[in-house]
Structures are given as C-alpha cells and as structure tokens.
Amino acid sequence: MSKALPVVVLALLTAPILVAPVSAHAADREDHAKRLFLRAKDLLRKGQLKKAAGLFEQAIAKDLTEVAAMRQLGRVREKLGEYDLAVEAYRQYVEMVPSAPDAYAVREAIKRCAAARHKELRRGGGHKVSRRDLDLPRGLRPGGKKAKA
C-alpha cells in the first residue's frame, strides 16, 4: 500500500500539466474559429459570398461546435444558388441544435432549397445529382408531400 501512494501523488501532481496544453490548444482553435467566423460575417455584409463561404467552412473545420457558422454557411450557399450544399449545411445545423429558436426557420429554408433544387433539375439546369440526393425526410419534402415508397 505504501508503494502505491507515491504513484498516486505523482499522478495527481502531473495531471494538470498533461491536461493544460490540450486545453490551451482547444482554446486557441476556438479563438481562431471565432476570428474566421467574424471575418466571414464581414465579407457577407460586403457581398463577397464565395469568400465568406470559404471562411465559414474553415471556422467549422477549426471548431465543430461552431453552429452559428453552420447556419450562416447554409444561408450563403442558398444565396449562391448552391442548394444541395445549403441543404447539407442547414441539416447539420438542425441536427446539432434541434431546439434552436430558429430551427423552424431553418427547416423552412431546407424545404425552400430542396424545392429550388428540384425545380432547377426539372428545367434541366444546374449540376446533375442522383435521385438519392433528392431524398429528404418526410417533413422536409417540397410541398410537404410524402414520397412514395
């Protein structure tokens, strides 16, 4: 029992040292993500949508909990007419924070983007996507209709 005591004491003394660099690194990543997010919002206000989208994506890559960036990325992709990418960003946002105050509005944006993408495909415009890519959960289908099985 007396041999175990020094090991436990050593473990308790070194634990903060081992954890501190990880915490500092995580904080740096979060700070960097916040700076990217703020720069992206500034670019969005200036109408530089492509650059803003790139910075929102970088912010998300740095900090996966950056849900505001995910929401904004969906908004930018929708404005650019990149409806499939907008739907993906919006879906991820709703999955991350399903009870967000704006969740209903985001779900409506998903419907709007899916309908716009569907319309674009029916006209023959836009890039080609597979039928599987158009599958949406029941409540998110254009026109609110259930798909046939």
In tens, the pLDDT along 81-135 reads: 999 999 999 999 999 999 999 999 999 999 999 999 888 888 875 555 544 445 5
149 domain residue, yes or no: no
* E strand residue ranges, the chain: none
CA dihedral in degrees (37, 42, 48, 50; nearest 10)? Answer: 0
57 domain residue, yes or no: yes
- Rounded Cα gap, residues 34 and 69, in angstroms: 9
90 domain residue, yes or no: yes
Determine the structural domain holding residue 27 and report its residue range.
Answer: 4-144
How many structural domains compose the chain?
Answer: 1
84 domain residue, yes or no: yes
Task: Give residue-wise pLDDT tens across range 21-60.
Answer: 446 667 788 888 899 999 999 999 999 999 999 999 999 9
Q: Is residue 59 a contact partner of residue 73, using CB atoms and an 8 Å limit?
A: no
- Rounded Cα gap, residues 100 and 94, in angstroms: 8
